[in-house]
Amino acid sequence: KMAAPMVSRAVGISSVRAFSGTPRVQNKVTVVGAAGGIGQPMSLLMKLSGKIDHLSLFDIVNTPGVAADIGHCNSKGKVMGYKGAEEMAASLDGSDVVVIPAGVPRKPGMTRDDLFNTNASIVKGIAEQCAKSCPKACFLIISNPVNSTVPIFAEVLKASGVYDPAKLMGVTTLDVARAKTFVAENQGMDVDKVEVDVIGGHAGTTIMPLLSQVKGANFTEEDIKTLTHRIQFGGDEVVKAKDGAGSATLSMAHAGAYFAEKVLDGLNGVKGIKECTFVESPLTSAPFFASPCTLGTEGVSEIHGYGQLSPFEQALVDENVPALVKMSQKGIDFVKNN
Ligand code: NAD
Ligand code: LMR
């Protein structure tokens, strides 16, 4: 098998060089859905990072309380809360990064796609306001089903003429976090040193960990099957254990805060940041596909190929690309028809 190609995104020189004396990045991060199960702990972790100068917390309920509470933590950065549609523009204005965990979570027995009917319109509405208030921000989409909500966001931005594919990312960091955790456990490795790429999408079998590429690991065929399945269905494991009280919130808060920080680091010129994320991608026939990406001063600066796959992984990719195409099209059609 040929390794998939490296794909570079051209970055305009003029947009990279700011006028001297004018800081290009204000380090303003807005969380949309900040009062929710993910939103609250993720906002707390972001505040504690000390990397954000202005943390803007938006939700349709409860944000004044969440902002007042988090704002008392003695770490760097101002916290502001905004509540309701009338305050949304102010919350987004000047954002460098907008992280979006708004929408309903799963209950046992549901797929992520079962959330489409509710979350598609929530995400569409948020994208419409973002297109007006902060069209140049990086948009990090957590709301499920990610395989469709990211294409929805793209279509809305396109319709407003402000779509920049380098700045729209579906957050798949939790899949990578699970992969690292389960692999380290299985192999007796140091979890801080394990690297696992997870490609594809964020739903069931579209989540495809590349275990054949994990350095220092020695898996049996049975390990590969069991670990792959556990990583693909890690979300279901949490939904089942929470027994009707929602889906992953705390691990997602950690993964979301980590990824947002990496995006912010990239915007600030830190070099060599590579993370898996779900982006518009030429790697397969699916319009959006997660793979390792370099994060730079303009968002995603390079989409890396996924390298040499084992026959097991290649079969997964072949089986799941059509599903990704379908889920993407569902999002695109939703915007066209609404
Ligand atoms: P939650 O119900 O606890 O919180 C959602 C929040 O969104 C609520 O506070 C709600 O008021 C807010 N909200 C609803 N409509 C809004 C709007 N129009 N504007 C702003 N805020 C709005 O749910 P949760 O557990 O935090 O999960 C949120 C979403 O994240 C779900 O769709 C879930 O499936 C998804 N999720 C994704 C991943 C991932 O890996 N990408 C992981 C876990 C959860
Ligand atoms: C997850 O992977 O935990 C999230 O996508 C939430 C879910 O519905 O499983």
Q: How long is the chain?
A: 338
Confidence band of 266 (pLDDT split at 50, 70, 90): very high
Q: Which 8-state DSSP code applies to residue 217?
A: -
Mutation choice for ligand 1 from 40, 43, 57, 59, CB with most ligand atoms inside 8 A: 59
The answer to whether 237 and 174 are in contact (CB under 8 A) is no
Percent of the chain whose pLDDT exceeds 90: 93
Amino acid 7: pLDDT: 53
The answer to whether 160 and 134 are in contact (CB under 8 A) is no
Amino acid 24: pLDDT: 74
Taking the CA of residue 174 as reference, the ligand 2 atom at the shortest distance is 2
Which SS3 state, helix, strand or coil, does residue 307 take? Answer: coil
Predicted confidence (pLDDT) per residue in 133-173, tens digit: 999 999 999 999 999 999 999 999 999 999 999 999 999 99
Check pLDDT > 80 for residue 234.
yes
Please give the residue that has the higher pLDDT: either 24 or 255. 255
Predicted confidence (pLDDT) per residue in 169-224, tens digit: 999 999 999 999 999 999 999 999 999 999 999 999 999 999 999 999 999 999 99
Q: In this predicted structure, which of 23-37, 270-284, 300-314 has the lowest mean pLDDT? A: 23-37
Task: Kindly give the pairing relationship between strand 138-141 and strand 299-303.
Answer: unpaired
The answer to whether 33 and 95 are in contact (CB under 8 A) is no
Euclidean distance between CA atoms 278 and 37, whole angstroms? 22
Mean per-residue pLDDT, 30-51: 98
DSSP percent split of the chain into helix, strand, coil, nearest 5: 45, 15, 35
Q: Is 202 an annotated catalytic residue?
A: yes
Q: Ligand 1: residues within 6 Å at CB?
A: 32-33, 35-39, 58-61, 101-106, 115, 119, 122, 125-126, 142-144, 146, 171, 174, 202, 246-249, 252
Helix residue spans in the chain (DSSP H): 13-16, 39-49, 63-71, 88-92, 116-133, 146-159, 173-187, 221-232, 234-242, 250-267, 311-337
Q: Which residues are annotated as a binding site?
A: 33-39, 59, 106, 112, 119, 142-144, 178, 252
Residue nearest to atom 9 of ligand 2 (CA): 235
What predicted TM-score, i.e. pTM, was given to this entire model? 0.95
Look-up: residue for tokens 């069931």?
Answer: 204
**Residue 222 CB burial class (10 angstroms; 0-12, 13-18, ≥19):** exposed
